[in-house]
């Protein structure tokens, strides 16, 4: 523990030292800059550079820049777990950094290419999720979270630094580490990622590039031992709750390790000129079109390992029913590489004076290389004794697609887009999608309201590992059909009233799901998943109540299980002391109705469907205090403060207990100069 703490402390000191060095460089050493004391002696008026940090993300296949706010707000700061920033309701293993799946169907993430990563995507940053910056002064953020008790502590640290080299060029890097020993045996999770990025925004040429490395090292305890979710674990000390893979110590004999590397390079060149007259009769010169090229390269390796395997394959109640490759240990390894090149041309809507919309067309090619265990061959000796032999299999998949989009992003009251994509070569030949969205705003009395809608029709081939896979515990060789789905969502929002009402419907045919035995299957039934969602922020004096509730309906919970109701409420009192110390004191509540929550399969990292026991109908309540003093944000939180009420088992997933009551605190500090 001491070594880990020293590692975190070293990272903090490096970040703070870097920030201090930049401050010193700006005030004492920069060319053309005057030392402040010298300026005061000469009677000169010194001018400090005001904090100015602008951030954005690339959207629509990296052709548009979407402004994002730099996170400096106190509201919601106590919710630092990445998975609860993505969805208000999560089916997860109870520990920071562990596998998860959103209970809200529309928010379940899927990264096409490697299904074994889907339960950990919150910890694997991808290029479309990266923020790029433009700063007038160097910007540094250091964030630290700690959860007690010490012997089962969790720690979370991020350090970010970015600055402009010149007016057009920015560079930055960040380091993130979350480490949690866990309240229960064999639950330790440690996730790290390092990001480097750079951007150049010139008059004609723009460039965005990034390098991302992620390393995940998670122990897998397999849930409560003997498949007994009815054990009264809530009446035991967490260290006494028997777990499947914990062995005779607090450590686990099973581990999931992921190494993932990405390189991203996107650049564009503007072509032609057009004069556009504004409302004030000023003329602005804009490009007629822009051409883009995007290169993405990634490689990853996942290793699932178990030591002392015979302990978990006992005949009376085995966790895994088969281990044909190796009965002593498990070493299931899969790796992949992917290279994607995309060429695009966009005709800006300002150049289309007749129809007033823009046009984008593209062609993309992807090459995917997989390496994984091949089919197992059964051998027999002269005495009839069986043995098994396997080999490593290499598979290459090449896909080429064309696509296009028409869009209207300009205007004050109405915006829309419509697009299509078709794979015409390779493994995914015949896959296609047609998508569209619209947004509007209008006046309703003294308020501003808006209607929005989006949707799509999708045809998608199964992923490679949905069709075929071999390992020490699971083998399948399928030929599933193309999945077909229709998704529609729409609603209304009134920002001035902090109100949003929305609803959606999903129709799915040839749905691929995961059975209780850990194997994939496909149903020909047409499935429906519908939802209605309400978001409302109430304010009464200095009391705030932030609410987010969603009702869901599934036509068959055997294939797509979701809770009927999931909600999140944050109620707090807000005020300012001494005109400088802003504070919030209140509680968060999360609740979902009972449902057959998918269970987690450690060997594949996939949540599979089960019909044995429902999970839910238990509120998790956290009490918190948020403090903000100038550029520093601090929180103190008591997680699961309601433990013992109601007096019943509390699960965060099937067979996985939620964490008992524990104290947490965190601090985030911004440096702008």
* DSSP-derived secondary structure for 250-315: SS-SEEEEEEEEEEEEEEEEEE--EEEE-TTS-EEEE-SEEEEEEEEEEEEEEEEEESSGGGG--S
pLDDT on residue 327: 77
pLDDT on residue 18: 38
Name the residue among 570, 586, 569, 596 with its Cα closest to residue 651: 596
Quote the tokens at residue 235: 């009446």
Distance between CA atoms of residues 574 and 544, nearest Å: 7
pLDDT over 90, % of the chain: 65
Please say if the pLDDT value at position 155 is more than 50.
yes
Which of 323-337, 380-394, 576-590 has the largest mean confidence? 576-590
pTM here? 0.87
Q: Confidence class of residue 42 from pLDDT cuts 50, 70 and 90?
A: very low
β-pairing, 432-440 vs 620-629, is unpaired
Higher-confidence residue: 594 or 393?
594
Q: Map tokens 């596998």 to a residue.
A: 99
Q: Residue 72: how many CB atoms within 10 A of its CB?
A: 13
Distance between CA atoms of residues 80 and 75, nearest Å: 12
Name the residue among 86, 88, 93 with its Cα closest to residue 651: 93
pLDDT on residue 23: 36
Please say if the pLDDT value at position 3 is more than 90.
no
Please say if the pLDDT value at position 376 is more than 70.
no
Which residues lie below 8 Å from residue 192, measured CB to CB, with a gap of 6+?
175, 176, 177, 178, 214, 215, 216
Q: What integer is the mean pLDDT of 476-486?
A: 95
Quote the tokens at residue 15: 């970040």
pLDDT on residue 286: 76
Please say if the pLDDT value at position 280 is more than 70.
no
Q: Map tokens 């694997």 to a residue.
A: 124
Please say if the pLDDT value at position 15 is more than 70.
no
pLDDT on residue 11: 39
pLDDT over 70, % of the chain: 85
Q: What integer is the mean pLDDT of 54-72?
A: 89
Q: Confidence class of residue 31 from pLDDT cuts 50, 70 and 90?
A: very low
Give 609's strand partners. Answer: none
Name the residue among 564, 539, 546 with its Cα closest to residue 554: 564
The answer to whether 134 and 169 are in contact (CB under 8 A) is: no
Average pLDDT, the chain: 86
Distance between CA atoms of residues 576 and 209, nearest Å: 42
pLDDT on residue 587: 97
pLDDT on residue 77: 87
3-state percent breakdown (helix, strand, coil) of the chain, nearest 5: 10, 55, 35
Which residues lie below 8 Å from residue 105, measured CB to CB, with a gap of 6+?
506, 529, 531, 552, 554, 560, 562
For residue 364, which phi and psi values (nearest 5 degrees)? -135, 145
Name the residue among 276, 257, 161, 263 with its Cα closest to residue 218: 257
Higher-confidence residue: 320 or 104?
104
Q: What integer is the mean pLDDT of 499-515?
A: 97
pLDDT on residue 14: 37
pLDDT on residue 17: 40
Q: Where are the extended beta strands (E) located within 74-130?
A: 90-92, 100-102
Q: Map tokens 């599934």 to a residue.
A: 554
Please say if the pLDDT value at position 10 is more than 50.
no
Distances (CA, A) of 310 to 329, 471, 479: 8, 16, 33
Distances (CA, A) of 300 to 116, 258, 260, 370: 11, 7, 4, 10
Name the residue among 131, 137, 117 with its Cα closest to residue 218: 117
Q: What integer is the mean pLDDT of 192-199?
A: 97
pLDDT on residue 353: 65
Distance between CA atoms of residues 157 and 179, nearest Å: 9
Q: Where are the domains of the chain?
A: 1-47, 49-671
Please say if the pLDDT value at position 37 is more than 50.
no
* DSSP-derived secondary structure for 572-628: EEEEEETTTEEEEEEEEEEEE--B-PPEEETTTTEEE---S--B----EEEEEEEEE
pLDDT on residue 600: 96
Q: Confidence class of residue 425 from pLDDT cuts 50, 70 and 90?
A: very high
Q: What integer is the mean pLDDT of 565-576?
A: 96
Quote the tokens at residue 341: 């090149």
Please say if the pLDDT value at position 284 is more than 90.
no
Which residues lie below 8 Å from residue 462, measured CB to CB, with a gap of 6+?
478, 480, 481, 482, 483, 512
Is the peptide bond between 646 and the residue preceding it cis, with omega within 30 degrees of 0? yes
Which of these ranges, 147-156, 337-346, 408-417, 494-503, has the smallest mean pLDDT?
147-156
Which of these ranges, 229-243, 252-266, 432-446, 654-668, has the smallest mean pLDDT?
229-243
pLDDT on residue 354: 65
Higher-confidence residue: 112 or 171?
171
Q: Residue 40: how many CB atoms within 10 A of its CB?
A: 12
pLDDT on residue 230: 62
CATH 3.40.50.300 fits domain 49-671:
no
Name the residue among 160, 171, 113 with its Cα closest to residue 297: 113
Longest C-alpha distance within the chain, in Å? 101
Counts of helices then strands in the chain (DSSP H, E): 4, 40
């Amino acid at each position: 523990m001491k070594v880990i703490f020293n590692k975190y402390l070293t990272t903090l000191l490096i970040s703070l030292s870097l920030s201090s060095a930049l401050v010193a460089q700006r005030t004492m050493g920069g060319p053309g800059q005057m030392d402040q004391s010298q300026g005061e002696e000469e009677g000169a008026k010194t001018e400090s550079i005001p904090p100015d940090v602008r951030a954005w993300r690339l959207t629509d296949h990296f052709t548009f820049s979407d402004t994002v706010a730099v996170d400096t707000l106190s509201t919601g700061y106590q919710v630092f777990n990445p998975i609860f920033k993505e969805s208000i309701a999560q089916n997860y293993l109870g520990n920071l950094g562990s596998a998860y799946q959103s209970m809200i169907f529309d928010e379940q993430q899927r990264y096409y290419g490697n299904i074994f990563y889907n339960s950990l995507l919150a910890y694997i940053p991808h290029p479309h999720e990266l923020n790029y910056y433009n700063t007038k002064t160097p910007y540094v953020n250091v964030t630290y979270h700690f959860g007690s008790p010490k012997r089962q502590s969790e720690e979370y640290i991020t350090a970010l630094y970015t600055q402009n080299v010149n007016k057009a060029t920015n560079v930055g890097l960040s380091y993130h580490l979350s480490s949690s020993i866990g309240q229960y045996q064999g639950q330790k999770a440690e996730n790290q990622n390092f990001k480097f990025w750079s951007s150049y925004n010139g008059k004609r040429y723009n460039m965005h590039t990034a390098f991302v490395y992620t390393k995940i090292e998670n122990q897998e305890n397999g849930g409560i031992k003997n498949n007994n979710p009815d054990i009264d674990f809530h009446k035991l000390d967490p260290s006494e709750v028997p777990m499947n893979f914990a062995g005779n110590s607090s450590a686990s004999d099973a581990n999931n390790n992921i190494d993932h590397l990405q390189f991203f390079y996107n650049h564009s060149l503007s072509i032609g000129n057009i004069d556009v007259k504004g409302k004030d009769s000023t003329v602005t010169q804009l490009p007629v079109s822009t051409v883009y090229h995007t290169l993405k390269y990634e490689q990853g390796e996942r290793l699932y390992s178990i030591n002392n395997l015979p302990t978990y394959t006992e005949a009376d109640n085995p966790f895994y029913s088969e281990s044909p490759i190796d009965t002593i240990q498990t070493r299931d390894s899969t790796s992949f590489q992917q290279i994607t090149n995309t060429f695009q041309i966009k005709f800006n809507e300002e150049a289309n004076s007749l129809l007033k919309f823009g046009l984008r067309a593209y062609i993309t090619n992807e090459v995917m290389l997989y390496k994984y265990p091949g089919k197992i061959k059964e051998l027999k000796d002269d005495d009839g004794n069986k043995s098994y032999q396997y080999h490593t299999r290499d598979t290459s998949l090449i896909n080429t697609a064309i696509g296009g989009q028409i869009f209207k992003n300009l205007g004050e009251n109405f915006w829309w887009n419509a697009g299509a994509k078709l794979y015409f070569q390779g493994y995914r030949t015949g896959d296609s999608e047609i998508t569209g969205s619209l947004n509007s705003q209008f006046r309703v009395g003294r308020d501003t309201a808006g209607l929005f809608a989006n949707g799509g029709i999708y045809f998608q081939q199964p992923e490679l590992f949905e069709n075929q896979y071999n390992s020490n515990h699971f083998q399948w060789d399928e030929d599933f059909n193309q999945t077909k789905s229709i998704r529609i969502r729409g609603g209304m929002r009134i920002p001035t009233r902090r109100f949003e009402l929305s609803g959606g419907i999903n129709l799915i045919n040839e749905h691929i799901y995961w059975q209780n035995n850990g194997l994939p299957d496909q149903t020909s039934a047409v499935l429906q998943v519908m939802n209605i969602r309400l978001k409302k922020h109430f304010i009464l004096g200095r009391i705030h109540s932030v609410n987010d509730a969603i009702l869901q309906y599934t036509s068959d919970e055997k294939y797509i299980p979701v809770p009927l109701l999931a909600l999140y409420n944050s109620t707090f009192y807000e005020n300012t002391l001494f005109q400088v110390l802003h504070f919030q004191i209140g509680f968060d509540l999360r609740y979902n109705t009972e449902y057959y929550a998918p269970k987690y399969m450690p060997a594949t990292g996939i949540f599979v469907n089960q019909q044995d026991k429902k999970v839910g109908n238990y509120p998790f309540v956290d009490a918190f205090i948020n403090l903000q003093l100038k550029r520093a944000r601090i929180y103190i939180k008591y997680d699961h403060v309601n433990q013992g009420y109601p007096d019943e088992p509390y699960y965060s997933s099937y067979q996985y207990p939620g964490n008992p009551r524990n104290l947490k605190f965190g601090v985030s500090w911004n440096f702008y100069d």
